[in-house]
Amino acid sequence: MTKPSSDVTNKIADSTQKALPLTCVDHKLSPVSFIPSPNFNERPADVCIDALVIHAISLPPNSFGGPYVEQLFLNELAIEDHPYFAQLAGLTVSSHVFIRRDGEIIQFVPFDKRAWHAGESMLDGRSNCNDFSIGIELEGCDDLPFITAQYESLAKVAGVLFESYPGLQWSRVVGHSDIAPGRKTDPGPLFDWEKFKNLFEAIN
């Protein structure tokens, strides 16, 4: 029997992901691809996970669909593939979850661990938002709208997280730009917060 290509396997996995409801078991989403990033550490003792931070990322900037975001989170970025990547050499970052343009969800860090997504940041007077937040990266940029499939996946993920981590509340669902103003602009002016909230309420 001929072994399916990786593209076929990915399409089957993506179809399964979209067809089945999301759950969170042992701080990991299911059915979702889990690709462990080395870029995480333990949260402070007795911390309450009570914030959700929405980001946007594209590598190279404004380019979608390639392997580079995944490579970045795994410390495997092919620096020679694009001039922009030179400034990212040695950077160690991660996100708990990455949502591609087609809505595919990939998890890189278990939710009970501290992903390195926010950097220097502050929310409601508390610094070091990585300590108490979950980070979700959307494949996108400031200059192009996000895709409905991404909003749908984001709403599903948020719903599962709200069920799994009672400290989360809507008032503490924020953008990266909200916790690092002047330093970060994502998810950008074209992220539709109303659409996200409406889908969240409809799905959950």
User: Which residues are tagged catalytic?
Assistant: 137
> Within its chain, how far is the Cα of 153 from the centroid?
11
- φ, ψ for residue 184 (rounded to 5)? -130, 150
E-strand ranges in 48-132 read: 51-57, 97-99, 105-107, 113-115, 122-123, 126-127
- Rounded Cα distance between 55 and 184, Å, is 9
Considering only the C-alpha atoms of the chain, give the largest distance between any 2 of them, rounded to a whole number of Å: 60
Beta bridge partners of 139: 57
